[in-house]
Amino acid sequence: MEFTAKDIAGLLGGTIDGNPDIKVNRLARIEDGEPEGLSFLANPKYYPYIYSTRSSIVLVQSDFEPEQPLSCTLIRVDDPYTAFAKLLEIYDSMRKAKTGVSALSSIAKSAKMGTNQYIGEFVVICDNAVLGDNVKIFPHCYIGDNVTIGSDTTLYPGVIIYYDCSIGRNCTIHGGAVIGADGFGFAPQSDNNYKKVAQIGNVIIEDNVEIGANTTIDRATIGSTIIRRGVKLDNLIQVAHNVEIGENTVIAAQSGIAGSAKVGKNCMIGGHVAIVGHISIADDVKIGGKSGIAHSITKPGIVILGSPALEISKFRRVIAIFNNLDKLFYRIGDLEKTVKQLQADKISVEEKI
C-alpha cells in the first residue's frame, strides 16, 4: 500500500513541510528509516535522528523547529505518537480487509455463513457452525460442530475451535490458539491407573476479547469455561477447565490457571504466574510476574507478589530480610561463640571458687 504525504496529512489533520507528493509504502522507526518509509518523532532523546534518518516522511509535533537542514518531509500534528498509532490502526485494518471464500476451504452444508467474510485456504468449518458478518478466518483453521463466531471476529492461521464453543463479536484469536480441548480430568484408580473423566462442557468467549498465539483454553467438565468481555490474554497461556476470567482482565505470557479458579474483573496478571484451582481472586487485583497464588485473594485492588504470594508491602519486608540472611547467619554464629565462651568462663570461675 502506498500513500502520499498529502494523503497522510488528510487522514491525521496535519500540515505538510516539504513535498506533498512524496510517497511512502512502509512504517519504520526513525533511527532505522529507509527511503519510502514513514516514521514519527515524539521522544526528545530521538531528536538527533531527524537529521540523519532516511525516512521519506516524519510525523513531528506541530511546534517542532529544526536546527539543521532536513532531507525528509515533515507532517506536523498535535501529538505524533497518537497520530502514528492511528496510522498503525488504519494500516492494520486495511491489511486485514480480505474478503472471499477460498475454493480450497471445506464448509459444511449445514453451516450458516454471514456476509462479507474471508475464509482462507484449508479452513474447515463443520456441521451447524454459525458465523456472523465480517468474520475473517485465515488459512488452516478448524471450526468444529455447533461453534458460533460473532461478527467482526478474526481468527489467524492455525486456530482450532472444538465443538460447541462460542466466540463473541470483535474478537481476535492469534495463530495456534486452541479453544475447547478437553480439560485435564482423570480419576485415580486402585491399580494406580487413571480413568479419563469425560469433558462435556464448552468454552464461552464474550465480545472484544483478544487471545495470543498458542494459548489454550480448555472446555469445562460440565458447564462452561468463561472468558468475559474485554479480556486480553497474551501468548502461551493455559486456562484450565471451568475457569472464569472477569471483564477487562489482562494476563501476560506463560501464566497458567488451574481448574475452576475464578479471576475477577479488571485484574492485571504478570507473566509466568501460577494460580491453583478452586480459588477466587477479587476484582482489580494486580499480581506480579512469577508469583504463585495458592489461596483465594478476597481483598479487591491489592498488589501481590512472590511465591507463595504476599501483599507487596509484606513481600518487600520479607525480601529485605532475605537479602541479609548471609549476614544474619554469621551474626548468629558469632553470638553462639560468644555465649559458649561466656559459659566456659562462668564454669571456670565457679571451679576456682
Residues annotated catalytic, as ranges: 241
- The Cα–Cα gap between 217 and 110 comes to 26
Name the one residue in this structure whose C-alpha cell is 523547529: 65
What sign has the CA pseudo-torsion 307, 320, 270, 264? positive
Q: How far is CA 41 from CA 8, 35, 192, 201, 309, in A?
A: 15, 16, 64, 51, 41
Q: Which ranges constitute the DSSP H helices of the chain? A: 5-12, 80-95, 312-322, 325-352
- Cell numbers 486495511 correspond to 94
Taking the chain, what is the end-to-end CA distance rounded to the nearest angstrom? 103
With H, G, I as helix, E, B as strand and everything else as coil, classify residue 143: strand
Give which of 116, 120, 115, 118 is closest to 103, Cα–Cα.
Answer: 120
